[in-house]
Amino acid sequence: MNIILSIEGGIGKSIMATAVCEAIKKQYPKDDLIVLTAYTEVFLCNPNVYKCLNINNLQYFYRDFIEGKDVKLFLHNPYSETKFITREEHLLETWCEMFGINYNGEMPKLYLTEREENFYSQMFNSDKPIMVMQTNGGAHNQNVKYSWTRDIPYSVAQYVVNTFKEEYNIFHIRREDQIGLENTIPVHADFRALAVLIKMSSKRLLIDSFAQHTAQALGLDSIVTWVGNTPSQFGYDNNTNIIANEENEIAELKNSVFSKYQINGDLLEFPFKSENDIFNVEDIIEALREVKLSVLED
């Protein structure tokens, strides 16, 4: 039987979906799992996936995978499920539940080859331990480059850098159109290279975006900051999750529909008096200092 799993959304969602793939294969071990996604690089070498196809290039798909075949289709978006919208459980539980798949705590997993690690690691030679930061997320066409709903305020991020710059080489994962930080090494590379960098790192300060899911998929704990979203839906218990302070301003929620806040950081919805009220930066510093100086060992 062909089981077809379609994944809508960004690369972080595809990384999370590797856990769903594992759960599906445990329940249907003899069937072929075909994944449709815009981020096929996430599923390279994944033993649970028979074939991964780019969702934007599915020529002859019906003929090759559906017509005359025994087929099970998993096409629905978990973001539209009641338990997701009401924040009752983790996204992975909701995702499996809506397809009738047993969820038993499966976590995201990435599979890097030794050749990839040897090749990409040369891009990140470092005379100090490596700290990785991802402070901003979102799409290329995002009008507001800083989203208060998800991103780390610039002043907080720069304070962290200034605190650790002598001890670590700090690699800042960001696109060219995103906000930069002084005394960091900006990194914009393909996904597999970034995964190798994250695997090489000793400490990680991340947001609710693809890098935290990548670290989890490599078995690495991280410090992760949260504002609009919650780790109980998108995060992992093994991380140190830094939750935003209590809101001190009344937000204008006229544009809220199925979530309280929009992920792009709608300016009207800002529920704080200033960015300085979102996090206690010393909490982040303390959490980073408590991380033992180590990297993932094979």
Q: Given this model, what pLDDT does residue 297 score?
A: 44
Question: Strand pairing partners for 231?
Answer: none
The number of C-alpha atoms within 13 Å of 31 and in the hemisphere containing its C-beta is: 22
pLDDT of 11 reads: 96
What integer pLDDT is reported at residue 298 of this predicted model?
43
> Where, residue-wise, is CATH 3.40.50.2000 in the chain?
120-290
Domain 120-290 bears CATH identifier 3.40.50.10320:
no
Give pLDDT, residue 293: 56
Mean pLDDT for back-to-back runs of 10 residues, the chain (298 residues): 96 98 98 98 98 96 96 97 96 98 98 97 94 90 84 97 97 92 95 98 97 98 96 96 95 91 91 95 96 55
Q: Are 33 and 24 in contact (CB under 8 A)?
A: yes
- Which residue has 């929009």 as its token pair? 262
In whole angstroms, give the CA distance from residue 122 to residue 254. Answer: 50
- Measured CA to CA, the distance from residue 198 to residue 112 in angstroms comes to 12
Long-range contacts of the stretch 40-45 (C-beta < 8 A, 24+): 41/190, 41/191, 41/192, 42/11, 42/14, 42/15, 42/17, 42/18, 42/110, 42/191, 43/14, 43/18, 44/111, 44/192, 45/111, 45/112, 45/113
pLDDT given for residue 296 in this prediction? 45
